[in-house]
Amino acid sequence: MKEVVNIYKKNKTNIDEFIITLIKNLPRDYIENADRILKDNKIIQILYSVDENYMQISPAICRKKHDIESQGSNKKQYFSMVTPDEDGFYISNPYIHHTTGRASVTVVRYYKNIYYVFDINLIGLLEELKLIEFNSLYDKFKRSVYFIGALSLAIVAISLILYGVYAFVMIFFENTETDLLHSIFKSIISITLGIAISDLSNQIFEHEVLFRTFHQEEDRQYKILGKFLVSIIIALAIESLMVVFKIALSDYQNMLSAFWLLFGTTLMFVGLAYFYKTIKESSCEDE
């Protein structure tokens, strides 16, 4: 919704001119020709009329039905702030329509002592003007793919976390001699990887399924990648620490290998820090 409103505000003058021209070119008997108007203009969702006393004098006409129950209702609360311009037009700010649940704007035309109200689908309007690219069928398909992918990652994450907990609990119930340090670190690594994958799954689910946007932040994908890399590097650091301890306790000849392993992990931390620094500077420049 935020991106749609921003696009509308940025192009408000041209969009409002387009809306006014569109309504001026419609058949003058709006209510009598409502079905035809709605059929020929997909962006118009609902059409009805209100008299000078702010009483609705026609049904709320949609494509699929005519809402007769709303006829005769008092619209004074909505029209108290409506001030048509010299051509008799008033265009509201964008809002979420209570009936359709879509981002909308309401256009009022005062003509022959009657207020004609047009509720317009804002997303459809912006798409028609080529200000956004939106295809409902493709969007549903894309959301479904992301949903399946995010759900699969979530299942893997839960499995890793459960395995880590299982591995830790089994340390206390196994009768055979086990490498306690190795078992504990294996449990920690499994849980850490599970959390990392869970975080990635949540990011995909939130940004691509629930709150899919038309205009995406240029650095958002990098931030998601950065959060995932943090968890992976933590897991690698734990693994490196485990290897160093094992070598220090039993095999000093491989201490050089442990050093290079820690050095490589440190380089990854440095690289990640530079990665975040680059993103932060880029974000400041964008603002």
- If asked whether residues 100 and 185 sit together in one domain, one would say no
9 and 87 within one domain: yes
Residues 69 and 158 in one domain: no
Task: Clarify whether residues 121 and 197 are in a common domain.
Answer: no
- Are residues 170 and 186 both part of a single domain? yes
Number of domains in the chain: 2
Residue 91: CATH number of its domain: 3.30.450.20
pTM score above 0.95: no
Residues of the chain with pLDDT under 50: 214-216, 218, 284-287
Kindly give, in sequence order, each residue whose CB lies less than 8 Å from that of residue 45, ignoring residues fewer than 6 positions away: 62, 97, 99, 100, 102, 104, 119, 120, 121
Last residue of a domain, one of 105, 128, 151: 128
Q: Is residue 87 domain-shared with residue 151, that is, in the same domain?
A: no
Q: What confidence score (pLDDT) does residue 240 get?
A: 77
Q: Domain limits at 26?
A: 2-128
Whole-angstrom Cα Rg for the chain: 30
In 3-state terms, the chain is what percent helix, strand and coil (to 5)?
60, 15, 25
201 forms beta bridges with none
pLDDT of residue 193: 81
The string of pLDDT tens digits covering residues 86-110 is 889 999 988 888 777 788 999 999 9
Same domain, 233 and 165: yes
Last residue of a domain, one of 81, 108, 128: 128
User: Of 64, 98, 128, which residue constitutes the final position of a domain?
Assistant: 128
Both 10 and 111 in one domain: the answer is yes
Task: Check residue 282 and give its pLDDT.
Answer: 54
Query: What token pair was written down for 64?
Result: 């699929």
Quick one: 277 and 145 in the same domain?
yes
